Amino acid sequence: MSTLPQHAVTNMEGIPRTVGTQNNVYLTQTYTYEAKSRILSCASSAAGIRLALADNIFHPQGGGQPSDRGWVNDIPATPVRDPDSGWAYVDLAPASENDERAFSAGQMVTATIDAEQRRLHAALHSAGHLVDALIRPFGVRHVGSNHFPGQARVEYELEGAEVDKEQLADSLQEGVVKAIAQGLPISSGERDGRRTITIEGLATEFCGGTHVTDLSCLTDVSIRSVKIKSSRLKVGYEAAHVTLT
């Protein structure tokens, strides 16, 4: 949870500083797709309205993961993160002035996100952590990740390490299949005031994204490509979430 100063002001970007505490539900409840929440603040923005919700289910883009798609009281909502406070806000584009006047601080609203998209993003992010955990023993240094659909990859500096691309691809695919068959649990924690994600028995990393509960939730995980250029290793992958009934 994040606590902001006990007064309401607006910064240069029109992001309101709000009395109260925000609970970022998405950090602990990946599979919560709808929630009632109180509006902590309401301000104008380039989109129309910017809200801070007390119980926020929206994941704003960051850490290589795209934003959730969603709605507040059936109005399309786009989550954004304030880099100064770390708070998550949602931008709404009301269809009329009447819609715009319908929101105010203290009001209860219904927030909803696209469930299928959330599950895909969580699957891609968890699969990225899995692939990363399997690559680390090869002696390379992780420098970046992209968990966007169709673009997912993890990148490394070789730092003198010699890597056989075909051997690495085969080793990663074998390790992915084994870990998913074991259904290794994924849990969140905290270290040095920062959130961590742990794949049991494999790795613990700092992360602010959404994740599946265990690796058995993943399907169609495959190593799409292994490329080496200018001492940089790039490993592309695919992943999906199992179908839920």
Question: Which tops the pLDDT comparison, 147 or 99?
Answer: 147
Average of per-residue pLDDT across 222-240 = 96
CB 94 within 8 A of CB 100: yes
Q: Which domains does the chain have, with CATH numbers?
A: 2-113 (2.40.30.130), 118-241 (3.30.980.10)
As a whole-number percent, the residues of the chain with pLDDT over 70 amount to 89
> How far apart (Å, rounded) are the C-alpha atoms in residues 76 and 95?
10
Pick from 74-88, 151-165, 210-224 the range whose average pLDDT is largest: 210-224
Instruction: Return the pLDDT at 142.
Output: 95
Strands 2-3 and 194-199: unpaired
**Residue 64 above 80 pLDDT?**
yes
Single pTM value for the model: 0.87
Q: Which amino acid is at 183?
A: G
